[in-house]
Structures are given as C-alpha cells and as structure tokens.
Structure 1
C-alpha cells in the first residue's frame, strides 16, 4: 500500500457554480486522467481537431516539472497558442487535480478571461496510476484513458479511474495483436467493473478514431447547455 494514496477518495471540493461572476455561463470542464503513455495528450489533440470548428475550446495540461504536454499541443497547432496553457504541479499529479485545485481553477479563469466565452475546457492530468481522480470542484465530467499495451488486466484491476470515471477510453487497440492483449476480455472486465458507465475502444491511427469520444463530448455539451 502506498502511504501517500489513501484507500478512499473523498471529494474535497463541491461542484462549482455553472455561472461566472459576471453572470455568463462558464465553460464545461472535462478532465482526462490515466497512466503515463496511455495516450491522454494524443486524445486531447484529436478532440481539439475534431471539435474546434464547432466549439470554442481551451486546454490546460498538468505536468510535474515541465510544460511538455502543452508544448506538444502547441507544436501540433491543434488550437491557437493563447488557448493552451500548462500547470506545473511540482508534486504528485493528484495534488493539483484532486486535493489543491487552486492552480488549475486559476488557469481556467485566466483562459476564460483571455479568450472567452468558451464552450469547453479540457484539463489533462499529469501521467498517473489507476488511482487518479479529479475533484468535482474542478471538472464537471472526467474520462480515464488506458491503453492495451499496458496489459489487458487493467480493467480487471479496477481502481477509481477505471471504475468511477464518466467515460473509460481503452486506447491503442491497433496494438492488441502485437502485445497479446485480449480486447474481448478487456471489454468484459470493464463492463463488470463499471456497470452501465460507458466504455470506448479507440485507435487514433484510424480515420475518425476519436469520433466516439468526440460524440460523447458533444452529448455532454448539449446537456450542459440545456441544464
């Protein structure tokens, strides 16, 4: 047992108001968590490309000591530079997305002041393990990204990211034949762990590989506007 990660995960911040201080509706915030190398940044990039013509989007990345994920998105030109910013957590990524969310909240507010009004803010966690969760005071929904190369037993192992995220994304399905991962077993285990919560299998190497996740985001945006 890791002493720095408790076995329960209390939400230390309540849902934040959907209305900004000036009375305008704030952006929907979606968090992306998952282990190192699972494809979080690639998924963010693909979502930006798929949605940028129809939604006003901004991105916040979290890294411990660098701005590498934000710099990757800037190099890929997925959004104008002023719509991408980075938070250097300086500690376990859990700290900035679950425990002390002030740096991320400030980054969200700065982006909305600078380029708003926004429809969607994507908040990417630094690479973490299966215990990563977002405070509901920071994000309105969260997806958890795993990849088949990490082992087809990941859904079976569970953890709050796998069992409790609003969307579980099983990424890099094109690698399954090369790493010996059983996608059918992953699907069964994920369904057993998550019940009715949705699971998406994706390969970003295929055309429209992010389409199902993008459609899920569109549904969230529609519900947010209608609420």
Structure 2
C-alpha cells in the first residue's frame, strides 16, 4: 500500500492510498485478453465530485490519434463547459505543447506530466501525480470536464478507475486489422473503442468490417 499526500493551493491537505494488488498493474501476467462485458466499471459509490470533475481518460498506441482527439474534445466542450487537460509523456511535454500551439484550451488549463518511465504505470498503478494535477485544475477552474491522455503504449495499457470515469481507447488501421482481434486491456476494458484513420485501410490492406 502506498499513499500520496498533497495540498491544493494551501487550502487543504489529503492523501490518496493505492494498493497495486487491488487495482492491478499493467505488467502483470494476464490469463487472456479480457472481456468488455466483464470490464471494471466506473466507481460511483464514494466518488467525490467536489474534488475532481468527471474525468475522461484517453489511451492508445503512439501515433494513433490520442492528442488529436484531446484537441477535438476540447474545442467541442470549451465554449459550454469549464474544461482542463492533463497529458503524460515519458521525457517531454510534446503533447501539452501541441494542445497549447493549437489553442485547444488556455495554456494555464493544460498540465504536462513527465513520467520518466513506463507511461502506463502513471495511469494505472501509481496514479498519485495525475490525480494531484487533475484535482488542482478542478480546484483552480471549477471544471465540469477533465481530459487526461496517457503516454503512447501497447494494448496492455489501461486506466485505473480511481483516475478515469470514462475510458476511450484509440487505435488506427495502420497497425493492421489484427490489432482489435488481439484484444488486451486497452481494448477490452475501455468504454469506447475508436478506430482512427480508416481512410488508410485500403492502402495498408486492412478491412474495417467483419
């Protein structure tokens, strides 16, 4: 069991406790690809909406279109809702800088986290840094919607339900039509699977049906 304690602009202090055995770890040996119908469901009981707004987690392999989806969702909701975003990269702030350059949201509403290691561990096993960033944004901007993007990873990556209320996983056809058949937690445990770049299907010999 590990715990992280932090404050929000000096207003209050509290801690988050995590048990890797309880919440799982993306490095664990899996018995199979998993099942969508038996996926881990969002946490409803005990969820403190005063600390953190509804949070959408976006995952997927490198180059699948995660950041483009973050940009699109920000543009759709920013005029009617208070929105903020968190990105995860291993050693750079590339995705946050992309969102800032394209004016997805005001720069102060975008936070970049450099994980310095396995990117999916930061959204699954030890989520304390991401939780703190999301809660700080919520406290500062009274958000209605929070977006978080994981670092690009493989099909085994998935969000902890302590971190994401709704999970979107993005794949693209350039990986071939075998990718969705392979499954894995990223695909089977997400609430919504997005297949991107379907216009390239013929060029790479992939089918988008059957």
> Where on the TM-score scale, by shorter chain, does this alignment land: which range?
0.7 to 0.9
Query: What is the aligned-residue RMSD (CA, Å)?
Result: 1.9
Is 1:156–2:181 an aligned residue pair?
yes
Match of 2:167 in 1: 142
Q: TM-score, normalised by structure 2?
A: 0.78
Match of 1:44 in 2: 70
Q: Please state whether the residue corresponding to 2:209 is helix, strand or coil.
A: helix
Is 1:75–2:101 an aligned residue pair?
yes
In 1, Cα distance between the equivalents of 2:187 and 2:206?
A: 17
Match of 2:209 in 1: 184
Could you list the runs of 5+ residues in structure 1 that have no partner in the other structure?
186-227
Moved over 6 A (4+): none
Match of 2:22 in 1: none
Is 1:5–2:27 an aligned residue pair?
yes
Q: Offset at 1:183?
A: 0.7
Match of 2:116 in 1: 90
In 1, Cα distance between the equivalents of 2:197 and 2:48?
A: 34
As a proportion of its length, which structure holds more helix? 1
Match of 1:30 in 2: 56
Aligned residues: 175
Is 1:65–2:84 an aligned residue pair?
no
Match of 1:199 in 2: none
In 2, Cα distance between the equivalents of 1:148 and 1:46?
A: 20
Q: Offset at 1:51?
A: 1.8
As a proportion of its length, which structure holds more strand? 2
In 1, Cα distance between the equivalents of 2:170 and 2:117?
A: 21
Find 1:170's aligned residue among 195, 201, 208: 195
Is 1:18–2:40 an aligned residue pair?
no
Q: Deviations over 1:126-167 (max 9, x none)?
A: 000000110111111101000001111111111011112000
In 2, Cα distance between the equivalents of 1:95 and 1:106?
A: 15
Q: Offset at 1:184?
A: 0.8
